[in-house]
Amino acid sequence: MRKLIVAIDGPAGAGKSTVAKRVAKEMGYTYMDTGAMYRAFAWRVMKEGLDLKNDGALRKALRDTRIELAERDGRAQVLLNGTDVSEWIRTPELSQMASRVSTSKIVRERMVELQREMGSKGGVVAEGRDIGTVVFPNAEVKIYLDASSPERARRRFEELRSRGDRVDMAGTRGEMEERDRRDRERDVAPLRPAEDALVIDSTVVDVDSVVERIMEEIKRKISLIH
């Protein structure tokens, strides 16, 4: 049976990562966190003080950057030039920098190239913001996962607080709204549902129900293909 590409897009806090991991496990597919790739490069940008307006410096840094998505002991790992940066790339500050980095056409072109290489043989569940529209426009299954802004902010706040980060609800919601604006208004690959995507609002729907609905869609698409 041919292995499919499952694309899951949506804004921050919609539950993409949790859902994508579950779907990948049920399908026996590889989980691809494309946002982590931008975060990893953003971490390098911050660490080295790179100027996002300096195209030459960005190109050089991208040529020297190797990003790998792996799994160890059931935990997703993000490796930047061989170093595990998984824990360092999940801070609010890094989230904002990743959003800024993702507006660079040069960076996006390179990341899309890497993502397409990773998914070239299918058998992946890729989550991000432009998977079904740009990275894999021919993906067999396209999902756009959304939720209300207050609910997404609440989820993000609880996630950060559970990790021990010092955060407040108002600040978390403000940062999320700014990131939403940047993601939707950027010139290159703005956040939007693919025309043929199944849109799911997870505001008042639990994870199990969302996963079940996506699995139904996958089975439906498989029945049409075979």
50-101 confidence digits (pLDDT tens) = 999 999 999 999 999 999 998 877 778 999 999 999 989 988 889 889 989 9
Torsional class of 82: left (φ above 0), alpha (ψ -120 to 50), beta (otherwise): left
Average pLDDT over residues 123-147: 96
Radius of gyration over every alpha carbon of the chain, rounded to an integer in angstroms: 17
Average pLDDT over residues 98-122: 93
In this structure, what CATH number is given to the domain that contains residue 167?
Answer: 3.40.50.300
User: Could you tell me the pLDDT band of residue 111, with boundaries at 50, 70 and 90?
Assistant: very high
Which letter does DSSP use for residue 131 in this model?
I
142-154 confidence digits (pLDDT tens) = 999 999 999 999 9
pLDDT > 90 in the chain, percent:
74
Structure pTM? 0.90
Q: What is the pLDDT of residue 187?
A: 82
Distances in Å between the Cα of 14 and the Cα atoms of 75, 176, 212 are: 21, 11, 16
Q: Is the pLDDT score of 226 beyond 70? A: no
User: Which are the contacts of 95, defined by CB distance < 8 A and separation ≥ 6?
Assistant: 12, 39, 175, 179
Average pLDDT over residues 141-169: 91
Q: Is the pLDDT score of 167 beyond 70? A: yes
Cβ-contact 136, 7 below 8 angstroms: yes
Counting the structural domains of the chain, the total is 1
7-26 confidence digits (pLDDT tens) = 999 998 999 999 999 999 99
Instruction: Name the residue range of residue 156's domain.
Output: 5-225
Mean pLDDT of the chain: 92
